[in-house]
Structure 1
């Protein structure tokens, strides 16, 4: 009887591999092969035409003395540190509110999810209509109210703020949707026990809701941080990285280096550094989450 069981197990394993093979094939073609190609290009000096010249780690050595790279890296980190917690906090608050018996809950949920249906470029164009310092809606409203206008494109801090505001508006709906799904999967037993122990709504939120949503928060943190490190379309449309590099992030700097100045080897090196940052963060977050789960 052992042989038929082994044969059946082999057939099941073969069927399982057959089902997942297309996914691995797509991963190989569209992720792993381009990643290896980018690594090889980062070790060359090339403009994208003809064969490049192998330079080893010279492109990576240039990064250490490139002030524009360090400024773009700093902008990316600051952008991530602001956008990720703010958009997740607003998303969590919105999910908690929409999970309660609010009037017009469906309409409010649709309004928050609506930005998810808009592409990043379209969101950037909406941001231009709002933040343009010459004809934007905000400065028009400020003019009507007798308030001073803001130089959204020509001043570093307002330009950076416009990108942050547009991104938070765009990402909040996604965070809310995932948190709402997590909330609707929580049973009422713990809330009832906390209520019987005399915990008020705020105490129940921090003692019950937040810990139970830990896996959801971990998932969203990884996604939001990776997205923030890879942000391009909103920055490109709203400010183009200006003024004076004040809103330049790693991806816009890599794009400008690779397709404007045609130094594609150096641009690939910037991309590989970005990949390493995202990979290290995801691994650190996974390890921290796994360690916490084991302790609990």
Structure 2
């Protein structure tokens, strides 16, 4: 036994070290996902025992107009916030990647909003978007533009939330892109300049292709966060006015924890999980190495 242990301890050691992580992953990821899928076929109010209803919750979802509204709002928010944040982040990263003084200071300033609590961010920007005394309307009035009732308008509430998201999400994208830019050898740019390449050619043929993996990572993380947004919208509009800013996560919360329909909430959660998996897989497929 001792001889066997001495011969195999090197092989066993890695599994011993990763075992706690695997157990935690199963406990907090795999098991909840499987349990959610199981409950989606039941009617359950937490207090009683789950009652099997088959596909009834899924049929209800198909005929639920609020589900489609919340899905549309989620896509609207995700596309708007992610696309603009990534463009601004990449632009800022390219500017900061040049040899300018105080780069670390600027990087810290742009990244600072990322570490602020989203609840605090929502409260601050709710005040800034206030129709009567908010800084946004005050700024617009200096140019002779009449103010907008941002958070109480079905038209402007979601754009206001997207603007708020861009404020902190762009800094995150900037830092990740800047790290990716600093891994690109300067010799590639020098060689291209000798061949007569201008700034646009260098960006299109060197920078962008070599940032492919970084772009895939940023896109996947940002899209997942976009589909999972809750606290910011809950703080700023609570899904209103009407259902104009209600997203899937908030609708799940409302159905499961406010109304007590855990089965239907689990159905919505299962569908959201599938949607995220589809989008994530598609993004990673687009960013795959084609060699």
TM-score (norm 2): 0.94
Structure 1: runs of 5 or more not aligned: none
RMSD: 1.9
Counterpart-to-counterpart distance in 2, 1:69 and 1:193: 54
Counterpart-to-counterpart distance in 2, 1:60 and 1:147: 47
Q: 1:58 aligns with which of 53, 56, 59?
A: 56
> Once the 2 structures are TM-superposed, how far is the Cα of residue 69 of structure 1 from its aligned partner?
0.3
Q: 1:191 aligns with which of 172, 181, 189?
A: 189
Name the residue aligned to 2:274. Answer: 276
Moved more, 26-35 or 43-52: 43-52
> Once the 2 structures are TM-superposed, how far is the Cα of residue 50 of structure 1 from its aligned partner?
1.4
Name the residue aligned to 1:225. Answer: 223
Counterpart-to-counterpart distance in 2, 1:203 and 1:7: 59
> Once the 2 structures are TM-superposed, how far is the Cα of residue 7 of structure 1 from its aligned partner?
7.0
Q: 2:260 aligns with which of 259, 262, 272?
A: 262
Name the residue aligned to 1:167. Answer: 165
Tell me the secondary structure at the aligned position of residue 18 of structure 1: helix
> Once the 2 structures are TM-superposed, how far is the Cα of residue 103 of structure 1 from its aligned partner?
3.7
Name the residue aligned to 2:91. Answer: 93
Does the 8 Å contact 2:150/2:157 carry over to 1? Answer: yes
Name the residue aligned to 2:128. Answer: 130
Counterpart-to-counterpart distance in 1, 2:43 and 2:159: 36
Q: Cα deviations across residues 147-169 of structure 1 (Å, max 9, x unaligned)?
A: 31101122112101111001111
Name the residue aligned to 1:244. Answer: 242
Name the residue aligned to 2:28. Answer: 30
> Once the 2 structures are TM-superposed, how far is the Cα of residue 57 of structure 1 from its aligned partner?
1.4
Counterpart-to-counterpart distance in 2, 1:134 and 1:48: 43
Q: 1:201 aligns with which of 194, 199, 202?
A: 199
Structure 2: runs of 5 or more not aligned: none
Does the 8 Å contact 2:58/2:267 carry over to 1? Answer: yes
Q: In the TM superposition, what are the counterparts of 1:100-119 in structure 2 within 5 Å?
A: 100-119=98-117
1:21 and 2:12 matched: no
The total of aligned residue pairs comes to 289
Name the residue aligned to 1:215. Answer: 213
Measured at CA, do residues 135 and 277 of structure 1 come closer, stay the same or move farther in structure 2, by a change above 3 Å?
same
Name the residue aligned to 1:141. Answer: 139
Counterpart-to-counterpart distance in 1, 2:278 and 2:10: 36
Does the 8 Å contact 2:90/2:174 carry over to 1? Answer: yes
TM-score (norm 1): 0.92
Counterpart-to-counterpart distance in 1, 2:84 and 2:66: 27
